[in-house]
Structure formats: C-alpha cells, structure tokens
Amino acid sequence: MFSALCSSLTVPVTTKPRPTRKQSRSLPSFTIFSELSTKQRRSASYHPTIWETKHIESFVTPYNCEYELHSAPLEELKNISRCSLKTTKDSCILLKRIDSIQRLGVAYHFEDEIEEANNKSAVCFGGKKDVFDRFRGQDGRFLDSLSGDVEGLLSLYEASHLGMPGENALEETKNFTIRKLQYFSTVKMDGSLAKLIEQSLRVFEARNFIDIYHMDETKSPTLLELAQLDYNLVQSVYQKELKELASWWRDSGFKENLAFARDRLIENYLCALGIIFEPHLSKCRIGLTKFVWILDIYDDIYGSLDELERFTNAVNRSYLVEARWFSSEYTPSLDEYLENAWTSVGGHAATVQAYIF
C-alpha cells in the first residue's frame, strides 16, 4: 500500500526530558504524568518498524518538489481542464468527469467548478426517496438487466452508502450490487467493494485510478496528463516530508531514551495524510504527525489505567462545563473561561508539542 509514496509513475509525463510548565492556575486533575516514580509502565514488546530511517531517506523522485519548474505546464493543464468543465452541457458527462477528477486526486484544483456543477445537478435531478425504484421490476426485485452493467452497479453500490440508518431501500441496493459485482474481476472493480473513495487515502486512490483511467476510451488526455504530473509533484512533497520526519525522529533520540515507545513514524504520517493531503499544507502535516505520535505514546502506551481514567474524566468535565454555560446562556469571566479551556482545547498536549518541536 505504501508503495504509492515510494515510487513515481512509470507513465512518462511530457511536461527528551518531559517539559515542565509553571502553573498559573490550579489544575489538580492534570498532574497525571508528573508522578513518574516507581510505577510500572506497560510494554507490549512491539515489533520493530519495517521502515528504517535509511530506507526512508533512500526514496528518490526526479521531481524533487520543484514546483517552480513545473508550474507553467501544470497551470496550463489546469486551465484547459477547467474550461472543459465549464463548457460541458450534458449533465451526465459532466458528473462523470467530476467523478474522474476526484478519483484522480486533482479535485482540490477545481473546488469552485465542482461546487457549481454539483449545485446545478442538484437542481436538475433533486433527491427523491424512491429514486431506486426505477431499477426494480413490478415484483419489487432489481432488474436482471442491471447485472451486466459494471459501471452502473458500481455507481449504485457507492450511492447505497449515502443513506441513513433504517433506510432499507439503500441496504437492499447495497446487498444486491455486492452479489452481482462479486461475479466480475475487472481491473476497475479491484478494491472497489473493499473501500469507497471517501474512505480511501487520496494518494492511494489516485495511483490506482490513473491506470484505470488510462484505459478508459472516453478519457480526457489533458486530464490524464494533469493527474500524472500532479501525482508526481505531490509525491515528491510527501517524500521530502518523510525524510524530514525521519531525521527528526533519529536526532531527537526518542528510540533510545523512551524504550516503551513504538517506532511508528510512517503510520502516524499516514494518519496526518488522511486528514491534510494538500501539498501546500506541508508544515501543518508535519506538525500533526508529531502531535499524533505524542498522543500515541502517552495516551495509548505510557499511561497507567488510573492515569488514563483521570485524564479522560478531566476532559469530559471540561466539555460538560462548556455545555452548561451554553445551555444556561452564561458568559464566564476570562479567568474562569481560560481555566476550563486549558483542558478542553488540549493545552497540555500543545505545550508538550511546542517544547519538543
């Protein structure tokens, strides 16, 4: 799976010690990590990481984050694709093009155009509760003619995940499409039943769909070229970030000084990548990776049961206080608010992060 971050497209493209903080207010419930003494900390004897620092630092790509060198062809391809979206009149063709753009991982370049197109489509089609009835016969069963339409079955399958609990029609649609799609073994169906685009990491979905889109007879060559170039440029950004994080991990000495810690830098990075994928948000992604790593150590591993219970209760109490203020339309004083907010906004974790990073 992680190979999507390691190798470029083969298709040629033309173009330390814990910090101490001076307490300014009484926070008795948050002395949980100050009693380091004789407590035995659990260890699960985690297996070593398969992603050694030297392995990460060996990642290579011919693009090397040189956005400036590729900005002109990238902008040209974006403008051509943007113009195509605006001039497409057929709603079905337009929606299919938008679906391809999203799966190719370049939708963040066309957010305004996609929103405008979706708004127009919503007006044209509307949302009806009995929309799936058109695919059923008089006996209430799904039409047999749907069985050979892989594209249509995949669309129905994805649409069936957009319902709310208790919508039986959507559950029936999902079960029907799963049964029918299991008979096919086409490239496009590979992995489709396991995950939806909304449940996939953008970079993995894009890498997979680029190959699929390349074989699509109705593809847009310009859009395909844009997706290939964008993928390689974004991949180079991710690789640079991983090298920086690997160097930070090694130089910080966490592995040697915190024997209980899991060396899971790559997994934590993927967590951040799933939340923030845009290439220009590099600093935020790096910071979030480090933040997730701290939570993983202290919340999931280092804390004893008593400490974790106190931690959870303190957080829950702070949220409950804010809920009571809101419900009673009470406006707290600044000091009163800050004393509670220090817990609810994660002030302690932010302090640790700021100290280490």
Q: Which domains does the chain have, with CATH numbers?
A: 67-228 (1.50.10.130), 253-356 (no CATH)
Provide the pLDDT for residue 143: 80
Provide the pLDDT for residue 80: 95
Which amino acid appears at position 126 of this protein?
A: G
Six token digits for residue 100: 């391809």
Instruction: Kindly report whether the global pTM for this prediction surpasses the value 0.75.
Output: no
Q: 103: burial class by Cβ within 10 Å (0-12, 13-18, 19+)? A: buried
Provide the pLDDT for residue 17: 42
Residues pairing with 136 in the sheet: 142
Q: Give phi and psi for 214, each to the nearest 5.
A: -60, -30
CA angle 315–320–323, rounded 5-degree value = 135
CA-based nearest residue to 41, from 221, 354, 307, 281: 307
Helices 334-344, 305-327: inter-axial angle, 10-degree rounding:
140
Provide the pLDDT for residue 35: 46
Provide the pLDDT for residue 221: 94
Rounded distance between C-alpha atoms, residue 219 and residue 205, angstroms: 17
Which amino acid appears at position 234 of this protein?
A: V
Rounded distance between C-alpha atoms, residue 6 and residue 3, angstroms: 5
pLDDT beneath 70: ranges in the chain: 1-46, 64-68, 123-130, 184-199, 258-261, 297-304, 307-308, 311, 348-357
Provide the pLDDT for residue 346: 72
Provide the pLDDT for residue 290: 86
Residue with tokens 């302090």: 351
